Amino acid sequence: MRARHPLRGQCARSVPCKDAQVDDIRSRLRSTFQWIGDRTDAGFRADVTGWWRDATILGEIGAGLAALFGDADPTVVMGTQSRGSILGVLTALHLGVGFAEVRKEPSPSADSDAWWTTATAPDYRDRHLDLGLRRSRLRSGDRVLFVDDWIDTGAQASACRRLVDLSGASWLGGAVVVDGLGEPALRRRLTIRSLLHIRDL
Ligand SMILES: O=P(O)(O)OC[C@H]1O[C@H](OP(=O)(O)OP(=O)(O)O)[C@H](O)[C@@H]1O
């Protein structure tokens, strides 16, 4: 078993996160979330900044996301900038593993700066983003847990899976806070598990 990380939260891997703790995290996530604007407005959007302002959520969200894949034993957590990086680092800290950062529109600085890159299908804002990961951040034997705050079209998560496939590492699945996927097939294909469904908000 991997050595216990000194900064792990209460729900360390060796002490599985209890259902009651996950229920408490879910309740806090709901109460600190807000929708901005009117549902009929073009500017209607989700505001998750209340999550970052809640010290209890910051302390426990990594454990809650890790608990979704409690039996998977990841060797690394992957996330996209920016919110996927915040949550990914918190999850990695809990698990006692490292974090592989996926950048949007990466710009390698030299020939020696080798990246895996792929373009997304249209995402929730209809963007085709280039996503990139420094090749040295994943090894072929890695077992990768993807983490994000939200999944909508699944375009960014699907692109991240392609980056994992390019590296030769293994994709375990995606632990997300909110599942807003419209396509159930994608949930199965990417092995997406969530703390909340969009209808909970
Ligand atoms: O399922 P999809 O349609 O691909 O969309 C989901 C992604 O979009 C959001 O990130 P965004 O690009 O808005 O960046 P942010 O994390 O900086 O808010 C969210 O954090 C996911 O990463």
Could you identify the residue written with the tokens 């970052």? Answer: 52
Q: Within a domain: residue 170?
A: yes
Asked whether residue 146 is assigned to any structural domain, the reply reads: yes
CATH of the domain at 102: 3.40.50.2020
Name the strand (E) or helix (H) holding 100.
strand 98-104
In a domain, 28, yes or no: no
Q: Could you tell me the sign of the dihedral formed by the alpha carbons of 77, 82, 173, 14, in that order?
A: positive
User: For residue 53, is it within any domain?
Assistant: no
Q: Is residue 5 assigned to a domain? A: no
Looking at the whole model, is its pTM more than 0.95?
no
pLDDT of residue 2: 46
Torsion angle of alpha carbons 189, 82, 97, 4, nearest 10°?
-120
User: Which residue has the least CA distance to atom 19 on ligand 1?
Assistant: 150
Residue 74 belongs to some domain of the structure: yes
Q: Is residue 20 part of a domain?
A: no
Q: What's the number of domains the chain is made of?
A: 1
Q: What residues does 131 pair with on adjacent strands?
A: 104, 118
Distance 44 CA to ligand 1 centre (A): 15
pLDDT tens-digit series, residues 104-139: 999 878 888 899 999 999 999 999 999 999 999 999
Establish whether residue 156 lines the binding site of ligand 1, counting it when its CB lies within 6 angstroms of any ligand atom: yes
Confidence class of residue 16 from pLDDT cuts 50, 70 and 90? low
Residue 183 token pair: 């396509």
Structural domain including 112 reads 65-200
Q: Would 44 be classed as within a structural domain? A: no
Q: Is the pLDDT of residue 85 over 50?
A: yes
Q: How far apart are CA 71 and CA 66, in angstroms?
A: 9
**Tens-place pLDDT, residues 138-193:** 999 999 999 999 999 999 999 999 999 999 999 999 999 999 999 999 999 999 99
Q: What is the ipTM for the molecules in this complex?
A: 0.97
Q: Is the pLDDT of residue 1 over 50?
A: no
Q: Between the CA of residue 33 and those of 22, 48, 54, 107, 124, what are the distances in Å?
A: 17, 5, 11, 34, 19
Ligand 1 contact, 152 CB (< 6 A): yes
